[in-house]
Amino acid sequence: MPHGHISMKSNVFSFGVLVLEMVSGQRISSFQSRDNPENMLTFAWKNWLEGNAWNVVDPTLSPAFSTEILRCIHIGLLCVQHNMANRPTTSSIGLMLSSSTMTLNVPSQPAFFSRSHTPSSMPSPEHSSNQSSSQLPACSINEGSITQVYPR
């Protein structure tokens, strides 16, 4: 998708960000995770993979809704996957939210995933889990290209 173009899949991505913002109680633009300079998507993905999804949740949310909250994190991560083709459709999101018995796919790495802050034991779709993050290619935080600016 070229940057700046609106599509159903970019709307799904925005919905996923909104869900993660609501669950965490923080805006993505001002996300803070203790002393880590991670973005919200990296933080949510890493904690979900490690089985610590509750680290993402705003502490003021009631644990009485734990199943629903964890399901929302899962759906949010499905919506922000790097590969747009793997993101769910808006109609399937509606089904996921309305049916607690519907099985959810396993999300893959989110877009804007910061590899520089991942532990070496964390698996990545492109690499086996026994490779360290130091072996990953260098990239910008949002995997965008670096543009050389030339004045007119």
| Structural domain includes residue 142 | no
| Structural domain includes residue 113 | yes
pLDDT digits (tens, 9 = 90+) for 58-84: 989 888 888 899 999 999 999 999 888
Predicted TM-score (pTM) above 0.95: no
Q: Give residue 118's identity as a one-letter amino acid code.
A: T
Residue with tokens 């007119």: 152
At 124, is the secondary structure helix, strand, or coil?
strand
CATH number for the domain spanning 118: value is 1.10.510.10
Token pair of 57 as six digits: 């949740």
| Structural domain includes residue 68 | yes
Buried b (16+ CB within 10 A) or exposed e, 42-59: bbbbbbbbeeebeebbee
Domain tally for the chain? 1
Q: From CA 120, how far away is CA 62, in angstroms rounded?
A: 33
Question: Which residues span the domain enclosing 24?
Answer: 8-135
| Structural domain includes residue 148 | no
pLDDT digits (tens, 9 = 90+) for 78-99: 999 988 899 999 999 999 999 8
